[in-house]
Amino acid sequence: MDTNFREMVRQTNIALRNMKFYAADHPSTTNSLQRSYDALMKMLAAEGQLTLGVVDNTLILNDSPIEESDRFISDLTEELTVRNIESLVFYPDLSPDELRVLLDCLNREPDRLLTDGGAQKFLDVQGVTHITANEVKYGKINESSGEGGLEESIIAAFLMGKTPVFRGDQEGLLSLVEESPGKIGDIINTRFSHMVENGEGEEKSGRAANRAMEQVGRFLETQPEDSVDRSAVMTQIMLSLSPEVHAGLYGYRVAHENSPHDRIDELVGEFKNEEVIRLICSNKEWTRSYSIKVNLVNNAKTPLSEALRFMNHLRDKDLQSVARSKNIPAPVATSARKLLQKRAEKGKAKRGGH
């Protein structure tokens, strides 16, 4: 289990207890709240977004059940369950005050909280925007799986982050993702189309498409390295996405370029399928992303003309890394060295002119 998660849960329980017995500004309260916040922010820095949920008295972290429990995890699970909080989603830029409001919510008497409209209303009234309650509705894959395998509706729920993958279902899901990546793309296309038709907006639809790709990437990362070619699977899914979904993905990723953990941006550097690389290079929206430019320049399969075009936008630090790289074509590394030299001479001349 992630040590930051364990520390966050422990400190959250301690903070909840201290808030019941001490004033809000008491050192016992403020210190434990700060430690809980620090652990949570470390996790957000690694993941970009954190989803905590409960299914059948089991705590779920980012759609994976926490198999290894302890007293603190059991206590937090119970606090969420009795208040009908099925899930909590934590977003980047969360403030300490917003976390404090959530803990106030978890200290409310369950009956009173539910009578007053529930956890989300409590957060809304207090102006909390970086924590949502019950945005994700969980189900269990293994309750809906038929003899023919995982049902499409359940796979869609997993891709949208609404269903965890329990241990018994992982083999079936891995088989589907590896053998029929196009089907995963078709499900994402269908879900995206439904959202657009229902008027849910570009931001929400793009976020859903991005979440689906993140779900697949996160799931593949949990599998043994020799069991699946992660890049190949993600490549095939990318190729099967509709132009509309690509546009939604590009728009969302440009708007959220500073996301601290970006699986798709990382995979751009690993893609070996030239068709996918050309698709990325030709899309102006996606290539507005600086991290995409860096990864394309560092990908040996990127056409030389495209690598040189994007190279002009790289910062000196990233350009130096390209110049030293042994994993890219020699003309790319040579051009990087020449560009660095040209910039240095230009800077020297500019300083001399003053």
Give me the sign of the Cα torsion angle 220, 221, 227, 231. Answer: positive
At residue 260, the pLDDT reads 40
Burial bucket for residue 201 (CB in 10 Å: 0-12, 13-18, 19+): exposed
Tell me if 123 sits within 8 A of 104, measured CB to CB.
Answer: no
At residue 142, the pLDDT reads 38
What pLDDT tens digit does each residue of the chain (354 aa) get? 467 788 888 888 888 888 888 888 888 888 988 988 998 888 888 777 888 888 777 888 876 777 666 888 888 888 898 998 988 889 888 999 999 999 999 999 999 999 999 999 999 999 998 998 887 655 443 343 343 344 566 677 778 766 666 555 667 777 878 888 888 888 888 888 888 888 877 778 888 888 888 888 878 877 887 777 777 788 778 778 887 887 777 666 656 654 444 555 555 555 666 767 777 787 776 677 787 788 889 988 889 999 999 999 999 999 999 999 998 999 999 999 999 999 998 888 777 665
Q: What is the pTM of this model?
A: 0.47
Q: Torsions phi, psi of 131, nearest 5? A: -135, 130
At residue 137, the pLDDT reads 57
Could you please report the per-residue DSSP string of 140-180? -HHHH-BTTBS-HHHHHHHHTT-S---GGGHHHHHHHHHH-
Q: How far apart are CA 166 and CA 163, in angstroms?
A: 9
At residue 166, the pLDDT reads 55
Strand, coil or helix: 290: helix
At residue 304, the pLDDT reads 92
At residue 176, the pLDDT reads 79
